Amino acid sequence: MRLRVHRHRPLPWSTRRQTIKHAWTVPLWAFEWSWEWVAYVLSNWSFLEALEYLSSFGVLVAVIFYFSESGDRLKQKHYQAWQVINTAQGKGGSGGRVEALQELNADGVPLVGVDVSGAFLQGIRLQRARLLRSNFGGVDARDSDFRFADFSDSDLRSANFRESNLRNADFREADLTAADLSGADLSGADFRGTNLSDVDFSHADINDIRWREIRNLGKANVHAVKNAPEGFLAWAMQHGAISQESSH
């Protein structure tokens, strides 16, 4: 709010005229003196002061309404993000799904059951995302970040997670048949009850993975894996895993 200044009554023109030294400046001083009177009258007009208070109050009301409606704006933003994801369902390419998924996850929205099968999601960042029962079948998510993501009970068949960060991801009871995990960081990942048949683990970091209850490891490629837990490789070969250089 602007501070109002209550002005003093201007001197009479006869008095002001006596203080002017140069005759050619008289018209200028007369013009200035006239506006001094206007400013004096308006400074004492309560109506203008009331208008200033109302203007400040209007700003306050606008701020209150802005914050009170923030929840509705957030809901609208989430609704639009889900529209992007659902409209592109079953289609290739990104279709804006990378930004939509990241936005929802950043706002703490669960992505349970989301279907992005066949999508191009390379480089997506979904740390700690709740993706249980999701469908990532055939997704290209190379070089992505899924640290601490929950993929339990999900369809991840033929998904491409090459060179991705999957540290501490939860794959319990998920189907990763023919998925590409080559070069991925799988440290601390949970594979209990997981179908890992035909999965490419070559050059992946499998430090401290939970592997003892893997459901299926047939033809999984464990060539040149890094930091394999003690006993894992021998167990894997006994359960149908293979070791060969990948073709890609």
In this structure, the dihedral spanned by the alpha carbons of residues 112, 117, 121 and 125, taken in order and rounded to 10 degrees, is 20
Chain centroid to Cα 64, Å, comes to 26
Confidence label for 93 from pLDDT (cuts 50, 70 and 90): confident
Percent of the chain with pLDDT over 90: 65
Question: Where does 90-178 have alpha helices with state H?
Answer: 97-106
Confidence label for 55 from pLDDT (cuts 50, 70 and 90): low
Mean pLDDT of the chain: 87
pLDDT tens digits for range 134-155: 999 999 999 999 999 999 999 9
Q: Supply 56's token pair.
A: 């400040």
pTM: 0.72
Task: Say if residues 131 and 109 touch (Cβ distance below 8 Å).
Answer: no
- What is the predicted pLDDT for the residue at 46? 60
Please list, in sequence order, all residues whose beta carbon lies within 8 angstroms of the beta carbon of residue 11, skipping any fewer than 6 positions away: none
């893997």: which residue's tokens?
214
- What is the identity of the amino acid at 208? D
pLDDT tens digits for range 191-207: 999 999 999 999 999 99
- What is the predicted pLDDT for the residue at 42? 66
Please list, in sequence order, all residues whose beta carbon lies within 8 angstroms of the beta carbon of residue 191, skipping any fewer than 6 positions away: 171, 172, 209, 210, 211, 213, 214
Q: Supply 147's token pair.
A: 């640290």
